[in-house]
Structure 1
Amino acid sequence: MNDQIAKILTNIDEVMIGKREVATLSLVALLAEGHILLEDVPGVGKTMMVRTLAKSIGTSFNRIQFTPDLLPSDVVGVSIYNPKTLEFEFREGPIVGHIVLADEINRTSPKTQSALLEAMEEGTVTVDGETVHIPKPFFVMATQNPIEYEGTYSLPEAQLDRFLFKIQMGYPTFDEEVEVLRRAAHREPLKTLQSVMTIEELRALQQQVKTVHIEDSVKAYIVDIVRQTRSDQHVYLGASPRASIALMRASQSYAFMQGRSYVLPDDVQYLAKFVLSHRLILKQEARYEQIEAEEIVQRVVARVAVPTQKAMNYE
């Protein structure tokens, strides 16, 4: 594993107890230039995770608290008339930043949610015909509460498709929660956290991830898995070709995190549920039978033939 990546994970471990997998997946998404949707109950550390990540890299951190009355201009920015210059000037919104926390994203209207689409996919925002490029690296970590549905709006499929991963934090174990109390009683680790990576170093790592080798047989394996989701009996709408690209890029990033210059089928198998589950639209029968999307993805992965060693040619 890269030394700088290891230092970031160590930093996160200083603040977050027992969240190594979530921290690893967050870094995988960041290095793959993707975005994350964190779905879990309040109080398990979703906001703390993204703040720790931002502070470890020493980059800008913006937070958008989504509410029912939030307007698209509150997210992307607005043009304001300057009487001195007799011109309109663009005042950028909080989405224009390096690491952005979109807190409780499902509490705002679909119109405001859609304002994020261009930013997340194209890396730009357009206001009054003026296009502004968001500086790279650009990483959005959105959160939503899966329990309270009153006053919330379900994310549209197009928006969900823009997230590389959908993951859950989960409650800590008994021992982990005791350790949380012990640390909170004596200090606040986030305040003393030091940056261990610069923006330039992060950009360099993102470019290195793109050079990770992936055999044609593994690419075919990814496509086979994604196509199988479209024909599953419990799926109304399966994963799109964008999902295939997302799974490939995530696998390259994960392999890089493991210190390898090539992707293994194991990488694809591990990441499949995080990449594909939120992109599936299930039939009503599946809901009646209480079948979850994660179960379907795992079932698909289990039945797709894994590339053999002979088909893979790694040096």
Structure 2
Amino acid sequence: MVCLLLSAASPASDDDVQAGIFQTYLKLAEQGDMNAQYIVAHRYEIGKGTGADIDKANYWYDRAAAKGHPLALRKVEERRPPVEIAETGSGSGTAPSPVIKVADPVPPPKPPAAAPAARASKVAAKHEPAKPRAQPASVARQEKPHGAAPAPAHVAAESRAKEGHMVAKAVTEQVPPAPVDMIATVLRGQWSRNRQPAEFLPSARAACLQSSRAEIVCFSSELTRNVGGVGVTYNVKTVLSGLDNRDGRFALSYVYNVLHVASRPEPEALVPDTGDLQARTGWQEPGHTLDCRFNDERSMTCARADRKLSYQFARD
């Protein structure tokens, strides 16, 4: 009987915990916190800690999207109906091509009639005997002295090929390599760490947007991690800055916002513990900063200055 009572009480306890987490998020959402607004919307959508209500979910998605939350913006975009393109024509399946009227070409202006004196001079010049043309100086200089043997054809061809190769090499050396578009490299595709969606970069767990010419801001969804033997529910805000340099380096700063600390480990924890998250509620300012560099357009390495924490990210 004791075992049955414990097993029956456990699900109720989990429900109470999730309901408490939801109420905490709801209070922050009503105060204008866009991260909490997104999480409240997501919980209303899936019925976690509260009853499922798609209308309330859409309401909070809209409020978070109005503040620029990238995950909420993605939800709002998915909810928009597809654009319908009206078809025209006689029913053949293809729209008729527009008729473009091309203006008649303007005839070129006729040259003015030559003056009588100029016409007479042309007629006189026509009947004069042709004068021998002088040999151009350049041709005269190119004539070789009598008895000199011309260069073999293959020697001349090799000389021309060598000159062309030298010119091509000079042009290649003068063209600098094209700089990597670091903003596009980060935002293009989905990033992972240890074959799991990354929580700091665009992935299934986080959405990012460009906030300035050289900066990207990311927000994660609700995540869980076991820290010191207890489960921690949190989300994370990440700022990537210095993305306008040419050597592929930038700074990645992130800060955790913990909403709930459980009394026991979470069996379905999403993220392994790395020692940078504390089991206490609230924003964990000032956060952490990593020095990152691109290995190539599909991988990057981020490490703390003390080298005690390092991440390897790959793009799918």
| Coarse TM-score class (shorter-chain normalised) | under 0.3
Greater relative CO, 1 or 2 (CA 8 Å, sep 6+):
1
Instruction: Specify which structure has the higher proportion of helix.
Output: 1
Please, what TM-score do these two structures have when normalized by structure 2? 0.22
Structure showing greater radius of gyration is 2
